[in-house]
Structures are given as C-alpha cells and as structure tokens.
Amino acid sequence: MHLKTFKKGVHPKEFKADTASKPIERMPVPAEVIIPLQQHIGAPCTPVVSKGQAVKTGQIIGQSGGFVSSTVHATISGTIKAIEPVAHPAGPNVLSVVIAGDGKDEWFVNGTTQKSWKDLTRDEINNLILSGGVVGLGGAAFPTHVKLNPPKNKSVDTLIINGCECEPYLTADHRTMVEFPDQIVLGIRIMLKALGIQRAIIGIEANKPDAIASMARAVAEYTDFTVQPLKVKYPQGAEKMLIDAILKRRVPTGGLPMDVGVVVQNVGTALAIADAVASYRPLVERVVTVTGDAIKEPKNLIVRIGTTFQNLIDFCGGLTADAAMIIMGGPMMGIAQHSCQVPVVKATSGLLCLKGSSIPENKEYPCIQCGACVRACPMQLVPTRIARYSSRSNWETASSLGVLNCIECGSCAYICPARLPLVHQIRIGKLKVNELKRQQAVAK
C-alpha cells in the first residue's frame, strides 16, 4: 500500500496504546459547568443571559460577536450562578457563564420547524452550523461556518477530512472514527452540500488500521469519497501538510487552503455538524482523551463542555502521587496547565497527565549549528535564525525570514539537541510582526 506524506517532519514516540483500543465512555452530567464566551478564533460572544436566570441544555447563552465568531450554549440545565472572568485553559481569564445544574438535564426546544438536511439551502446549512456553535474540534477552534462559506472568487473542489491525529498520546479522533463512522459520513455529506462540491478525501495515518477499515466501510457506497492512508509522521494533521501529502498542492505564503481549492475539516467537526444540521443539536459536548503515565485509568470520554479538568481526572481514578504536569492537548502543541479547576472547552482534545520522569530536561545549551531544526521544519524555514532575531527584537528580519509562515508545530524544538525554546521565541516574533502590520495598516 502506497502511503502518502509530506517532506520533512519528525517521528515522536506515539504513546497511544493505553487508550487506542478503549471504547468511548460517557461522563455523567456535571453538577456545575464553567462556559467561557471565547472558545473560538475570532470575536468573543456577548452574553444573552443574566445571573439567576434558569436555562436548559442547548440554550444559547452567548451570541456570536461577528462573522468570525461562534455561538455558545448552556451544556447543562440549571441556573446562571455567575457571569464573570474565569481562568481559561489557554491562559488568560475570559468572561464566562457559570451554571449550577438542577440535575434534570432538560433540553431547550426552540420551536422552529425542523427540515431534513437534504431540503436545506447552503445558507440554511451554514446558519445552523453557526447557531449550533460548531468550530474546528481538532484544536484550532476556527468557526466552521466561515470555512464552509468561501468568497465567490475562491473555487473549492475538494474537502479533506483530517483523521490523522498525529499528536502523541491522543486517540479521541481515532475512537470517533471507529465508533461513529456513519455520523461522520453524514457530516461530510452536509459539508459537501454547503460547499457545492462532491469530492471528499479522508486522510488517516496508517497506525489506525481499524479506523481506516471503519471509514472505508462507511464510504463504500459513495463514489466521490476516498479514504487515504498516510505515513505516520508529525505534523501530518496540520492543514498545509495534509494538503501537501494528499494532493501535492502547496498553500502559498500567507494564504489559506481555499487558495488551492481545498477546505479541511476534522473528523470530530464532521460529527458535530451532523448533530447540528441533521439533528438540530448544538455543540455541548465533545470526545476527550485523558491519558499519560500520571493518570490511574486512561480513558476516552464524551464530556460536556464546561466540565472542569478535575472532574475528568477524578472520573479516571485520579492522579498518581508523582504527577508533575497536566497539558491540555498533546505534548507537541498542547498547553501546560496551572490549575485543574479550568473547564473543558471546544478545543480540548485531550488531557495529558505526566510524571516528572516523563518531562524533558528544562535546561538550554548553546546552539551547535547542527541544522536538525532545518531538516525537520515542514514549512522549509530556518527556525534557529528566526528565533534568534525574535529574541533580539529584530522583527523586520524575523519577518523577512518567514516568521509568519511558522505553524508552531514544535518539530524544531522537539528535535533540537540544545533544547532551545524555539517555538516560544518564534511565537513572540509572530505576535510582534502581526502587531506592527496592524499599526502600519492603521497609519495608512
């Protein structure tokens, strides 16, 4: 079997065995949830509820604040306990709605006439995806309705479904493909109708043979659907790498997948679209992998958004005595947490719990000019040079070297024998260069 892939990248150990064969379990509905009004790229939501108000599961509590934004819903029924800034797993405090549950989990019914998705127009589909709060569940959390509504001057011919899950440890997407293939295919069919195209390719890394077989059976009757096995390599699941691997199309510098005729969506997003459009059920829960050598019972869970990390840890037997770090996501692009009281958000694909012995040494050494980061970078950059100029606040040179092209995959830092914080320095450079560009645009 020919396995497609992209150039460069790295091969970190997988660490997926603890949960790859474990069926998804549904967590009990929590007694209380914390729901941030910023769970997506773009403008934050505006709260449309007030303290003391009774709400039901699936009821809108945050209205989208612009075209690039997404709706937020109550994920349990109960009473609004507070609307206040709360710690967010991505770092800063975010205005959030705290709901004290009533133990009933009563669902909100809006009374609108529910049509079959086959009878919906493209605009109606996108409106349901927006009102359903669907965003990219692979981790980026980009509002899905925006992706499915490309400008008229962009001609899209292919929908790629990302089933790679190339981050070590994580198996949420893997189990979703094994257990919910028909719902994923339904979501794909809905997206194709929204885009007005017919071709869909599902990319899955070869270390998931059961997922490949499951999805192949589910798409067997659709002649324009293809399941494409891919070589196991990181960061295969990054949009630009996945497009390169499957179609050999290169997204231009500063461009988007639609610039080369492609839209990419995650398998979990496809499942959420099926719920939002075919079942009129908004995004109130997602699959999360809880794993690592510091969790007693690694599991794949269906979790209500807003459930605290501590609740997930308790449901999985608790932490070991020598637990040292908790990461939201995987070890390559995940975010280390300072508290277990932060909530699961739409971008929470996993909770990685590690012992101190599993954490790499946090000591930097001088760069030896070995070029390992250059050989690993999938974006053909020279990470050490960009990081060096960023650390010296030379934003103009960092920009000229392509700092904005970095996808922050972490391949360079992973392979670096000097353990330099390359991604951190480059990320600062990207922020500063983008800030300067905004200032220049305003000045004009």
pLDDT tens-digit profile of 392-406?
A: 999 999 999 999 999
Give yes or no: residues 142 and 253 share one domain. yes
In this structure, of 174-178, 252-256, 283-287, 300-304, the range with the lowest mean pLDDT score is 252-256
pLDDT at 442: 85
What is the mean pLDDT of the segment spanning 377-405?
95
**86, 233: one domain:** no
**pLDDT score, position 236:** 96
pLDDT of amino acid 253: 82
Give dist(CA 63, CA 56) in Å, integer: 16
Which token pair is 312?
A: 């997930």
Higher pLDDT, 224 or 2: 224
Number of domains in the chain: 3
Distance CA 44, CA 71 (A): 9
Whole-number pLDDT of residue 441: 84
Instruction: State mean pLDDT over 251-271.
Output: 94
Among the listed residues 4, 2, 1, the one whose alpha carbon sits nearest the alpha carbon of residue 233: 4
The reply to whether 237 falls in a domain is yes
Quote the pLDDT of residue 1. Answer: 58
Answer whether residue 164 shows pLDDT above 90: yes
Task: Print burial letters for 402-417: b (CB count within 10 Å at least 16), e (below 16).
Answer: bbbbbbbbbbbbbbbe
Kindly report the number of other CB atoms within 10 A of residue 281's CB atom.
17
pLDDT of residue 114: 84
Element containing residue 240 per DSSP (H, E): helix 239-247
Whether the pLDDT of residue 112 is over 80: the answer is no
**CATH assignment at residue 199:** 3.40.50.11540
Residue 113 has pLDDT above 80, yes or no: no
Q: Which domain holds residue 347?
A: 26-108+284-358
Rounded Cα distance between 334 and 138, Å, is 12
Domain ends where: 217, 248, 278? 278
Q: Is residue 391 part of a domain?
A: yes
Instruction: Please report whether residue 17 resides in a domain.
Output: no
Q: Taking all residues of the chain, what is their mean pLDDT, rounded to a whole number?
A: 95
Last residue of a domain, one of 278, 312, 327: 278
Instruction: Report, as an integer, the average pLDDT of 157-174.
Output: 98
The answer on 63 and 44 residing in a single domain is yes
pLDDT at 165 over 80: yes
What's the whole-number mean pLDDT along residues 212-226? 97
298 lies in some domain: yes
Higher per-residue confidence, 114 vs 132: 132
CATH code of the domain in which 34 resides: 3.10.20.600
User: Contact at 8 Å (CB) between 20 and 245?
Assistant: no
Phi-psi map region of 133: left, alpha, beta (phi>0 left; psi -120 to 50 alpha): left
Domain boundary, last residue among 306, 331, 358: 358
Query: Tokens 């030896």 identify what position?
Result: 368
In the predicted model, what is the mean pLDDT of residues 9-17?
97
Same domain? For 206 and 347 the reply is no
Flag whether 4 is in a domain: no
In order of 102, 116, 260, 339, the CA distances from 270 in angstroms are 31, 17, 21, 31
In this structure, is residue 116 part of a structural domain?
A: no
Percent of residues, the chain, with pLDDT higher than 70: 100
Q: Full-prediction pTM beyond 0.85? A: yes
Would you say residue 63 lies in a domain? yes
